[in-house]
Amino acid sequence: YKVTTIFNCAPAFRNLDPEFRSCTDLLVVNESEAEALVDFSVRTIEDARRALKSLLEQDGYSIGIIITLGENGCLFGERMANNSIRHFPAREIKAVDSIGAGDAFVGALAHYMSHSKNLNSIELDKAISLAVEYASLSVERKGAQASYYFINELEEKFRI
């Protein structure tokens, strides 16, 4: 069996052990966590793009790196596609409570990746898009776990 590892580096710290990076397939960080890893400000999509380029220069992360950007969705730097960087925008929503949105994103991402039969760029894009959507939905409700949709609600909402 092949096990895919997703590391949500929260809280992040600067000198992440290179051996640990080699065991991580997909790194997921938010803007402030990305700042800790690259040691420069990550406040805009362009800053995040620059941070991704810097992180992709490091060894490890065989699938790639995701930087979540709150209301701006996320950026994905994909190793399997020659370090291409793609933006996955979030839809415009009425935010009520953002607590737990990052956890919602990572949980949904792991769920959708685990249901992929062939983890290629197309399947990754689908999993990331759905994770962005799920995290967006989670901020429309109050609370952390209380804001998370059940799988049957998602299937109905997304028709999947």
Catalytic residue, from 17, 25, 47, 103: name it.
Answer: 103
**What are the beta bridge partners of residue 76?**
66, 86
Q: Strand 74-78 to strand 64-68: parallel, antiparallel, or no bridges (unpaired)?
A: antiparallel
> Active site includes 59?
no
Cα-Cα-Cα-Cα dihedral sign, residues 63, 68, 69, 74: positive
Q: How many CA atoms lie within 13 A of 43 on its CB side?
A: 2
CA-based nearest residue to 154, from 144, 143, 135 = 135
Give the active site residues. Answer: 103
